[in-house]
Amino acid sequence: MSADLLEGARALSDRIVALRRAIHAEPELGLHTPKTRDKVRAALAHLPLDWREGPSTTGLVATLKGAAGEGRTVLLRGDMDALPMPEETGLPFASTIPGAMHACGHDTHTAMLAGAAELLCGMRDQLSGTIQFMFQPGEEGYHGARFMLDDGLIDPLPDAAFALHIMPDSPHGLVAGRAGALMASADQFDIVVEGRGGHASMPHQTRDPVPVACEIVTALQAMVTRKFPVSDPVVVTVARIEAGTAHNVIADRASLKGTMRTLSPGNRTRLHHEIERLATLIAAAHDMTAAVRIEQGFPVTVCDERAVALGEAVVEALAGPGKFHRLSHPIMGAEDFSYVLEKAPGAMFFLGVSHEGDDWRQCCGIHSTRMMVDESVLPLGTALLAGCATRFLKEGFA
């Protein structure tokens, strides 16, 4: 069956690529991606799928019922939204929307999932069970998966769930994954240090928030290395610091913005507490105050060992030995497929899409204005999604 899936996916290559390019040329941001939704619906309109939409997003769940009887339920997910950034690839199908680009590969994820839907519908008579195809907007920080779950679009919950993410700076056709924490939680923090401004030539008459803000930045780095073990990593990055209006004016306040990444719920909770404690006490030591606001982002992406083993077996059946790589450590990026994996066991896999023969280490990574994709790898991704679904429906986590 695996050989047939890859052959079938390659036969769909032109359609997969055409859908990817159409989506790429018209990127949409956030929770509402109506043009992308309509492209997906049009591409799959001829298939025996039941469609569901919810009130919070333009996300879609298409359901395929196997004709060979009742059985397990498996979910396959592809995200649809783009990033707010310009494109500098020079591709003939480059973004036509100023300030928006599919620089994270969601156009390919959607196209591969659509290809998997086409493949699996063609096998409907052989399938026992149910497949849910989750076309999700709002992955780039908008919690789209959580909204779709809250809207009841994935009800009943599946018995297993799988997703792919391309990596343009990873070897051509290599699939990677790991059991346990695959990606980090991602939260944001805002710290505002309140002082008392005045003339820059007389700082002793003021409460200057700038050196206090700088002290907080350095203290955050020391706090990470001295309070959290390297075996359970934590990352705190201050990405923006802002204060003042002129060279000779001491500001009333200084603000810091940054991100926090953790790989365990315990460290996530503790880090929130430690950042607030550190900022407020440092400010107090200088007769100032600090207000700390934390915005919770995505939880840790945790992959089930059984799902990873299933994906590894599918990859080796499709592409041969050596085409699946077990990652030795997590990636500190974040992913809102984590919301689905909190509800159902499953896994996300990374698919290398650097051009064959290129030095993949020199390729632009995701979120680059010049990110490129070797589209010849996309049928493998389509076959992998379809293979995970068929194997799980037939065998479960055997």
Confidence (pLDDT) at 358: 87
Q: Mark 166-182 as b/e (b = at least 16 C-beta within 10 Å).
A: bbbbbbbbbbbbbbebb
Confidence (pLDDT) at 382: 98
Q: What is the pTM of this model?
A: 0.93
Confidence (pLDDT) at 213: 98
Helix/strand/coil for 164: strand
Domains 2-182+300-395 and 185-295 in one fold: no
Q: At what angle do helices 2-11 and 378-395 cross, to 10 degrees?
A: 140
Report how many helices (DSSP H) and strands (DSSP E) the chain contains, helices first: 10, 16
Reported as a single tens digit per residue, the pLDDT across 340-358 is: 999 999 999 999 999 988 8
May I ask the CATH class of domain 185-295?
alpha beta
User: Distance of CA 322 to CAs 312, 318, 329, Å?
Assistant: 10, 11, 19
CA-wise closest residue to 319 among 309, 311, 308: 311
User: Distance of CA 40 to CAs 20, 30, 135, 234, Å?
Assistant: 10, 17, 8, 38
Copy the structure tokens of residue 271. 């880090």
CA-based torsion, 105, 106, 111, 115: positive or negative: positive
Reported as a single tens digit per residue, the pLDDT across 254-296 is: 999 999 999 999 999 999 999 999 999 999 999 999 999 999 9
Residue 1 pLDDT grade (very low, low, confident, very high; cuts 50, 70, 90): low
| Straight-line distance from the first to the last Cα atom of the chain, in angstroms, rounded to the nearest whole number | 17
Q: What is the mean pLDDT of residues 57-72?
A: 93
Q: Using an 8 Å Cβ cutoff, are 57 and 151 in contact? A: yes
Q: Name 353's Cβ contacts closer than 8 Å, sequence gap at least 6.
A: 105, 108, 166, 167, 168, 170, 172, 373, 374, 377, 378
Q: Using an 8 Å Cβ cutoff, are 244 and 196 in contact? A: no
Reported as a single tens digit per residue, the pLDDT across 119-176 is: 999 999 999 999 999 999 999 999 999 999 999 999 999 999 999 999 999 999 999 9
Half-sphere exposure of residue 332: CA atoms within 13 angstroms, side-chain side:
11
Asked whether the predicted pLDDT for residue 397 surpasses 70, the reply is yes
Taking phi over 0 as left and psi of -120 to 50 as alpha, with beta for the rest, 168 belongs to: alpha
Q: CA angle, 148 as apex, 143 and 153 as ends, to 5°?
A: 170
User: Distance of CA 152 to CAs 37, 148, 162, 220, Å?
Assistant: 18, 7, 19, 40
User: Distance of CA 344 to CAs 181, 303, 381, Å?
Assistant: 15, 10, 21
Looking at every residue in the chain, the average pLDDT score rounds to 96
Q: Are strands 289-295 and 249-250 parallel, antiparallel or unpaired?
A: unpaired
User: Distance of CA 168 to CAs 174, 311, 344, Å?
Assistant: 11, 20, 28
Asked whether the predicted pLDDT for residue 46 surpasses 70, the reply is yes
In the chain, domain spans: 2-182+300-395, 185-295
What percentage of residues in the chain have a pLDDT greater than 70? Answer: 99
Q: Mark 356-376 as b/e (b = at least 16 C-beta within 10 Å).
A: eeeebeebbebebeebbbbbe
Q: Name 322's Cβ contacts closer than 8 Å, sequence gap at least 6.
A: none
Q: Name 139's Cβ contacts closer than 8 Å, sequence gap at least 6.
A: 79, 80, 81, 104, 106, 145, 335, 336, 337
Confidence (pLDDT) at 110: 98
Torsion angle in degrees (nearest 10) through CA of 223, 225, 231, 237: 70
Superfamily of domain 2-182+300-395, CATH level 4: Zn peptidases (3.40.630.10)
Query: What element of type H or E holds 262?
Result: strand 253-262
